[in-house]
Structure 1
Amino acid sequence: MTGLLDILQPCVEGGSPPGAVALVDRGDGSEPEVVAVGSADAAGDVPMVRDSIFRIASLTKPVTAAATMMLVEDGRFALDDAVAAWLPEIAEPMVVRTPSSPVDDVVPAARPVTVADLLTFRAGWGFPTDFSLPAVAPLFGELRQGPPQPRAVAAPDEWMATLARIPMLHQPGEAWLYNACSDILGVLIARVAGCSLPEFLAERIFEPLGMADTGFAVPAGQLGRFTHCYRAGADGGLDLVDAPDGQWSSMPAFPSGAGGLVSTADDWFAFARMLLDGGGPLLSADSVRRMNTDHLTAAQRDGASLFLEGQGWGFGGSVDVTPTDPWNVPGRYGWIGGTGTAAHIVPSTGLTTILLTQLELAGPSPLPEPMRAVWAYGARGPRTTRT
């Protein structure tokens, strides 16, 4: 019978990725199955362990969405509230006349941006399927969107001032666009709460759930558990992107709600259990239901095919709508991180699958086979090795 070790060991034996930690819990009351294989560095000097710390990249997004829903439950704002009261920089945004128009060919936004627009990634800013569109370039060049780079991003007030000068690609509510909305939500949370995003997440989510190794920087005393981060090199080897004493060794000026967190498999599992338990003790069951419900139209899902591959989008994560390929499980909620991470839950069954590696993805799709294999193993149970 095939187990997690059988799935992951062949993947790391060739050194790409150098190591991985996977966790599968089927919600049946038994202990989760956890496997750590390979090493935390390409040289093989630091063994991978269960509590190795990873840059989880876009697995930050569901956490940011949950924090936003906590403020909704606190009565600080409603989903249909315009965000201009807290984010005046985008009170009167401009939109390019067509997605392919130059950045100076703009019209006013037809309506204000709402909290729901940000949660569903339909506020107007973000990455489309076509990265060559003129209004996409400033997202990379001026906002430093893309692969997480904490030391390169300006502080929130300066970042928002820059965003205000960049036109939207689409009118609010019109199209799903990737990534930027979670960063905007991070600024919104901090301004509404009256504290920094790291402080809010630590007090309201990480401490109550016991997520002791999750944050926007790794304390000096824990750097020995922090993995290196790599991308595939042109020569077939691995190029170092970030070392343990690099960009996450101190608190960033801009804590990215889109991709700034570091965490461990067990920490993210604690967050997953909260969602599977109906939000207790942090959220109501209704808020969790809104998070893992698809909010997109069929046309919006089709327009986001590069990222979603037929999936829908809830708040902060994708939702499997129909089994469009053998790996999908209708109702599955979660997301992937560009640093080589993936985490999903299935509310109807209690399943959780988590895979953490330290090798950047080559692009939004197709996804690496180990991610799909871990999903399938969790969803289908141990299975006989294919011949």
Structure 2
Amino acid sequence: MILDLQQLNPAGARMNEARLARIGEHLETRYVKPGKIAGCLTAVVRKDNLAYLHVAGERDRERSLPVGNDTVFRIYSMTKPVTSIALMTLWERGLFTLDDPVSRFIPEWEDLQVRVGGSWPEFATRAVDRPMRIRDLLTHQSGLTYDFMYATNIDKAYRELKLARAEKGYTLQDMIEQLAMLPLEFSPGERWNYSVASDVVGYLIERISGQSLPEFLRAVIFEPLGMTDTGFSPRDDQLERLASCYTRDSQKRLVLQDDAQASQYVGRGFFSGGGGLLSTASDYLRFCQMLLGEGALGETRIIARKTLELMVANHLPNNADLASVAMAGFSETHHEGVGFGLGFASKIDPVRNGYPASRGSYYWGGMASTLFWVDPLEDLAVVFMTQLIPSSTFNFRGQLEALVYAAMD
């Protein structure tokens, strides 16, 4: 069933309308009115019904433009699950296995090294203990990292090289060639570290499919699901609906990070499978409904039920949680009680995690504080959109979990 954002039915969703109203009250009172965020949109879907939809504040403070149901948001790392699903549609065709070495498709990575000392451009290295596998990219156990970690000499080298930066003319091939010059943080499979691995997944899609990443995502996911507002750059007709993105200065005041009317997203050539998509709440809800539908939305199947089951299972060694295997550093989730699959975090211990989403729920978020989760046990999906960098500023996920589950009848 494709939802109409004008048709609320909390009773059909078996949720308490008065308790759902607490969500908007909380967000407006605690965040929007004090100016901690410019605006936000929250949508709750359960049992094929739109239980709750709330918009508040402005998408563009400088021009006093309100958030609307059709506002276009930068979803950053909520791109990762989309890219991961896309790659696994190629796995379903038998075009690769999860244990294939990445060098099968990226020969430049045949002789990967691990750092043992030094800094850019003079690293001391050793050979990896085993080849990097495609599974390692999907589970963030590849040994790659992100430039914004500010934790090691490797992420410093990423910054020096401006790796994976969406500057004019920069491409996925440029990123692959830069990474070939750099050692890994650890030998593949040893640890978990949030990284540009999903950007590499996007590059693999291009190499395996023979299509550009935007073309492949459009043909395999966006058009079949009717996600007409999702892509890497805003169309001309979307610019007036694009939200501005904000960060905070030293006085904790909102300041522009990316102006909607002069956005760095316009005309980009670097298609980041890890963080490059723009989308709307309506579009991303369709993606979530497909996930709730075990890989299908109505009669449209994107991925097989068993493939999705494999993807959202915990792939960390010995069913560990992130707290026991992750390098210290940023991710889009708390580490306790959380496993990781092929592109999704998964709740493996709600008690240890401290929040009420069911065991087996899965999710991710984005750098500008957007988030989603899917809870198959409760037939529930939640999408939250705002535009505040970094996502670690406020614990929106934990607060929304408490508010949403408290509204269930």
Q: TM-score, normalised by structure 2?
A: 0.86
Structure 2 partner of 1:368? 394
Structure 1 partner of 2:5? none
Structure 1 partner of 2:311? 291
Contact 2:322 2:340 (8 Å CA) reproduced: no
Aligned residue type for 2:355: W
Structure 2 partner of 1:230? 246
Give the secondary-structure state (helix, strand or coil) at the position aligned to 2:62: coil
Structure 2 partner of 1:302? 324
Q: Does 1:358 align with 2:392?
A: no
Structure 1 alignment gaps of length 5 or more: none
Does the C-alpha gap of structure 1 residues 244 and 49 become closer, same or farther in structure 2, counting only changes over 3 Å?
same
Deviations 1:219-244 (A, max 9, x none): 01111110000001112311211112
Aligned mates of 1:195, 1:128 — CA distance in 2: 28
Aligned mates of 1:181, 1:99 — CA distance in 2: 23
Aligned residue type for 1:64: T
Q: Please, which moves more after superposition, 200-209 or 299-308? A: 299-308
Contact 1:64 1:186 (8 Å CA) reproduced: yes
Structure 1 partner of 2:349? 322
Aligned mates of 2:119, 2:316 — CA distance in 1: 23
Structure 1 partner of 2:142? 123
Aligned mates of 1:224, 1:216 — CA distance in 2: 16
Q: TM-score, normalised by structure 1?
A: 0.90
Give the secondary-structure state (helix, strand or coil) at the position aligned to 1:245: helix
Aligned mates of 2:255, 2:163 — CA distance in 1: 21
Deviations 1:13-38 (A, max 9, x none): 12221100111112x23224211111
Aligned mates of 2:162, 2:270 — CA distance in 1: 11
Aligned mates of 2:100, 2:167 — CA distance in 1: 32
Q: Does 1:68 align with 2:87?
A: yes
Say which of 167, 172, 187 aligns to 1:151.
Answer: 167
Contact 1:317 1:334 (8 Å CA) reproduced: yes
Deviations 1:240-274 (A, max 9, x none): 11112334543422100110000011111111111
Aligned residue type for 1:316: G
Say which of 152, 177, 190 aligns to 1:174.
Answer: 190
Aligned residue type for 2:42: A
Does the C-alpha gap of structure 1 residues 379 and 248 become closer, same or farther in structure 2, counting only changes over 3 Å?
farther
Q: CA deviation at 1:167?
A: 0.2
Does the C-alpha gap of structure 1 residues 294 and 152 become closer, same or farther in structure 2, counting only changes over 3 Å?
farther
Structure 1 partner of 2:15? none
Contact 2:321 2:335 (8 Å CA) reproduced: no
Aligned residue type for 1:315: L
Structure 1 partner of 2:41? 21
Structure 1 partner of 2:102? 83
Q: CA deviation at 1:39?
A: 0.7
Structure 2 partner of 1:313? 340
Aligned mates of 2:309, 2:243 — CA distance in 1: 34
Give the secondary-structure state (helix, strand or coil) at the position aligned to 2:364: strand
Q: Does 1:59 align with 2:85?
A: no
Aligned mates of 2:258, 2:120 — CA distance in 1: 36
Aligned length: 376
Aligned mates of 1:174, 1:99 — CA distance in 2: 21
Structure 2 alignment gaps of length 5 or more: 1-17
Deviations 1:112-163 (A, max 9, x none): 2211111111111115997332122122332535xxx523682122211100
Q: Please, which moves more after superposition, 84-93 or 121-130? A: 121-130
Deviations 1:137-195 (A, max 9, x none): 122332535xxx52368212221110000100111111111121101101111111111
Give the secondary-structure state (helix, strand or coil) at the position aligned to 1:6: helix
Contact 1:79 1:115 (8 Å CA) reproduced: yes
Aligned mates of 1:175, 1:103 — CA distance in 2: 24
Aligned mates of 2:263, 2:324 — CA distance in 1: 36
Aligned residue type for 2:229: D
Does the C-alpha gap of structure 1 residues 286 and 238 become closer, same or farther in structure 2, counting only changes over 3 Å?
same
Aligned mates of 1:316, 1:81 — CA distance in 2: 17
Q: CA deviation at 1:347?
A: 1.8
Structure 2 partner of 1:244? 260
Contact 1:214 1:267 (8 Å CA) reproduced: yes
After superposition, the CA RMSD in angstroms is 2.4
Structure 2 partner of 1:377? 403
Contact 1:56 1:261 (8 Å CA) reproduced: yes
Aligned mates of 2:187, 2:265 — CA distance in 1: 39
Q: CA deviation at 1:340?
A: 1.4
Aligned mates of 2:225, 2:391 — CA distance in 1: 33
Q: Please, which moves more after superposition, 229-238 or 119-128? A: 119-128
Aligned mates of 1:101, 1:345 — CA distance in 2: 41
Q: Does 1:185 align with 2:201?
A: yes
